[in-house]
A and B are shown apart, each in its own frame.
Chain A
């Protein structure tokens, strides 16, 4: 179970990078595409080809021990297949698109679908941890774990920075950057100078508004006090 949880740790790190890079796809496709391509390759080569089959073997063991629990896991099994198909399609479309296409509507659509894929994978992971992992830990016996651990157990390359950098150099380089910009450049139609002036105007208006409120409050208080002092007729 620890190996599966560590796989999720590596997956989470790469999903975060995909989510950051996809927001840069339309503005800097030349830089973002190779990173996204490597990230999707990592997902297909390790997470979909090794981690998910590992979980599927565990699902089968759980079904043997507690068929009722397996009912809730059926959805997770189908999500593995759907996730792999989506990742393969995204990788294909990303490699086929020209840089000009990525800067236009194609890039925007691709970025949106990448986001949906990231969301789907995060939701899937959360459900697995909440339902399947806790359930497996409860129902499986030591003999089940011994059987599951038999045979080769390849480990997540994301857990070993050197091995990861050798296989996915661009992705590793981005992931190790001390600072990363998220969301890409701002609104290009407004110049920074104009925006700065607008912000100053808004701030000045805000200050005036608050001064006016203060003044009105003082006048109101003074009027109430004066009314209180006035002798009754």
Chain B
């Protein structure tokens, strides 16, 4: 049974975020509204330090680590927000919880956003962030990629690019409700969960997806943009988490199936009636449990 905290969050989201995503609002207004949600979160998670050493050439990136902690594990995280907006404070708070349980430190990459910087700008920033970790002496098997929503799709796209370039693979990847197919699909969970999903709506989805590829619709099926069409051979272990009522449910299922068919260890946890991005909610027992499952996975693939 779903906790009252998560039930309330779903109801509020249905009345606010989903309405916003269904309406004809500009990217600026969308970012402004998301900024209002951000005020619910502290800028810096208590007990953690946020450092901006090792800058990247085209985008911001931060280290998030518990004060006084010594650990070799690194979680390289890509934030969500449909590639056009983001909630940095929420991402930091979620990463702090994940780092605490997994005994790890995190690298949060604010890859460039569309429509100002369409694909491949954000993708190149994200690949560059991983290569930088190797350059500064962090072993590939000490790094786990993670991403939520669009960030999950980004993480998968990065893995495919690293494999294609012959770069040493990270130890694994955590994919929280990833957006893995940007083509205009109208089947499966995108239809069956259209009403049930309390957060996302694909009414204006095409418009946002077109922004990400800079209007070049033919790029939408590119595996770095829509990893669901990629060949998963040679990828490290993958751990998917998705809510049963999300329109993106099949995005996770399809990728997990493709990965397993390609001989990759892939697991897909389907959390009953959880809203999109519930891992980021700072309250509710399900959020903490989901983070603990992610931390278990980090420990499994990065002992």
Contact = CB atoms under 8 A, between A and B. Distances in A.
Interface stretch (B48-56, B173-181, B264-272): B264-272
A86 to B, nearest CB: 18
A10 to B, nearest CB: 8
Contact of B270 (A13, A19, A181, A205): A181
Contacts of B101: 122, 126
B219 interface: no
A9 B70 contact: no
B23 interface: yes
A8 interface: yes
B299 A178 contact: no
A57 interface: no
A8 B269 contact: no
Interface size class of B (residues with CB under 8 A): 35 or more
Interface in A167-217: 178-187, 196, 199-200, 202-203, 205-207, 209-210
Contacts of A129: 71, 103
B38 interface: no
Nearest to B242: A179
B202 interface: no
A179 B256 contact: yes
A13 B300 CA distance: 6
A144 interface: no
Contacts of A15: 296
B252 to A, nearest CB: 9
B1 interface: yes
A12 B296 contact: yes
B68 to A, nearest CB: 9
A6 B303 contact: yes
Contact of A126 (B103, B253, B268, B293): B103
A202 B12 CA distance: 10
Given A20-B269, A181-B270, A182-B270, A209 B296 contact: no
Contacts of A205: 15
B266 A130 contact: no
B289 interface: yes
Interface string A113-141: 00000000010011001100010000000
Interface in B280-303: 286, 289, 292-293, 295-297, 299-301, 303
Given A6-B303, A19-B289, A186-B1, A180 B269 contact: yes
Nearest to B294: A16
B2 interface: yes
A207 B20 CA distance: 9
Nearest to B22: A207
Interface size class of A (residues with CB under 8 A): 35 or more
A184 to B, nearest CB: 7
Contacts of A182: 269-272, 289, 293
A134 B270 CA distance: 36
A5 B257 contact: no
A25 B150 CA distance: 34
A203 B11 CA distance: 9
A50 B293 CA distance: 25
A196 B14 CA distance: 13
Of listed A10, A16, A185, A186, residue having the most chain B CB within 10 A: A16
A232 interface: no
Contacts of B270: 179-182
A5 B270 CA distance: 28
Contacts of B15: 202, 205-206, 209
Interface of B: 1-2, 11, 14-16, 18-19, 22-23, 69-71, 100-101, 103, 195-196, 198, 244, 253, 256-257, 260, 266-274, 286, 289, 292-293, 295-297, 299-301, 303
6 contacts: A8-B299, A125-B299, A129-B71, A182-B293, A203-B14, A203-B195
